[in-house]
Chain A
Amino acid sequence: MAEVKNISEEEVWSALENVKDPEIPVISIVEMGMITGVELTSTSKCVVTMTPTFVGCPAIGMMKKDIAEQMTKLGFEEVEVRVDLATSWTSDRMQPEAKRKLEKFGLAPPPSLLADEELSEEVLNRVRCPHCGSTDTTLRSSFGSTLCRAIRFCFHCKQGFEQFKPVQ
């Protein structure tokens, strides 16, 4: 029998900070707002629930594996990682700190959508260039190198950059 130790929920959240979205390696899945539930069902079992940023995101499998690894490392004998859509991920679930990190990483953070606002190019245009800070930019393509990114161009520093798309 393995020695059973009490692991707190706080320790679980803190271990989850080590899991990153492989496509955005600078922020954790907790800061992204992807973890929707942590449940310690017994001293040896933990259930982590996550919601995907995009349904077809190919990184989900990898993140599930990383979460399970972190939980095993903490000492859980049994780990269940559930992916469900009961809570829908929106870009407003991203913590403010995460948005700052994104910008520093060179990826313009998603603009917030007002309560009844429909997605449009104007919404996407509420952005500043992560390289020089200029707001004189234009949308080149609402699709980019990953499902969550759009491509823009900055007229001020004459560089292309990527924008994390707002999702409602």
Chain B
Amino acid sequence: MNNNAVKELLYKMADDALIIGHRNSEWTGIGPMLEEDLAFSSIAQDKIGHALALYTILHDVLGEPHPDQLGFMRKEKDFHCCQYVEQPIGEYDFSLMRQFLFDNAELLRYEALTRSSFEPLAQLARKAKGEIKYHVMHGDTFMKQLGNGSEESQARLQSALNNSWHLALGIFENSEFEKELIQEGIFTGEEELKRKWLEKITPTLEAANLKLPATEENKIVYGGRKGSHSEFLTPLLNEMTEVVRTDIDAEW
């Protein structure tokens, strides 16, 4: 098995989960209504659990540093998350759109990985997909409700979709190992994932009275997978690691 290819895949998935988990947790206490506060907080908890499980595979199976080290002690350039997950939560419409677009992609990714030749990842995928189904159900339901709600709710979602589109497409930035991952049966690859994702979200967006923006290839926000990030990641990492930087042995 090509270890570097697997590591790259695990790092980007784990970093996506950790960073989106942190962003979602920023809604704790300030959600637009209690149920949404709970939803974003619960989804955050699931994501951070998935990040930990992925870092644990990297550590236990592939000899990478301890999960705490990976989560809290790396520099910005060592993170492989896409730039979409780093973006500030913005208004609720932006966060909800991101939850819908990102989680649909993540569910399809884990579904493909249930058949991965890398068994530790296949095992995690079989478990995690059952949890992410709840995230997708949440996003899909709210798209349809708010897209068919008031003029304002529809317009806000459409504008959130327009603003998110080229960031969201950055989720599928190809890695240098696409060929190896596909050939060795580890993962079906980013292109195939993007195709399935478009197939999956298009009918939901249509049912939500939303128009898919036109894709302009040169506007897609790539770079995150290779360590090039937006100005928003460093402040997030600083906040996330504040306790550990203050007292490395802190326990709670």
Contacts and interface: CB of A to CB of B under 8 A. Distances in A.
A143 B124 contact: no
A119 B134 contact: yes
Contacts of B180: none
Contact of A89 (B53, B127, B141): B127
A167 B137 contact: no
Interface string B2-41: 0000000000000000000000000000000001001101
A75 interface: no
B133 A121 contact: no
B77 to A, nearest CB: 27
A84 B126 CA distance: 12
B137 A120 contact: yes
A34 B52 CA distance: 20
A168 B133 CA distance: 9
Nearest to B119: A86
Interface residues on A, range: 20 to 34
A147 B42 contact: yes
Interface string A114-153: 0000111100000000000000000011111101000100
Contacts of A54: 46, 49, 131
Contacts, number: 75
A55 B42 contact: no
A43 to B, nearest CB: 29
A118 B111 CA distance: 13
B130 A167 contact: yes
Contacts of B39: 141-143
A36 interface: no
B123 interface: yes
Contacts of B49: 54-57
Interface string A27-71: 000000000000000000000000010111110000000000000
B43 A85 contact: no
A55 B46 contact: yes
Interface in B104-132: 123-124, 126-131
Contacts of A118: 133
B48 interface: yes
A73 to B, nearest CB: 25
A142 B46 contact: no
- The winner among B38, B42, B53, B128 for most chain A CB atoms within 10 A is B42
- The winner among B41, B43, B45, B129 for most chain A CB atoms within 10 A is B45
A140 B42 contact: no
A167 B35 contact: no
B35 A141 contact: yes
B138 interface: yes
Nearest to A167: B130
A90 B133 CA distance: 13
A85 B127 contact: yes
Given A89-B127, A143-B39, A165-B134, 17 more contacts: A55-B128, A55-B131, A56-B47, A56-B49, A84-B123, A85-B123, A85-B126, A86-B123, A88-B123, A90-B130, A118-B133, A144-B38, A145-B38, A147-B42, A147-B131, A168-B129, A168-B133
Interface of B: 35, 38-39, 41-43, 45-50, 52-53, 123-124, 126-131, 133-134, 137-138, 141
14 contacts: A55-B50, A55-B128, A56-B47, A57-B49, A58-B45, A88-B127, A88-B130, A89-B127, A119-B133, A119-B134, A143-B43, A143-B138, A147-B131, A168-B129
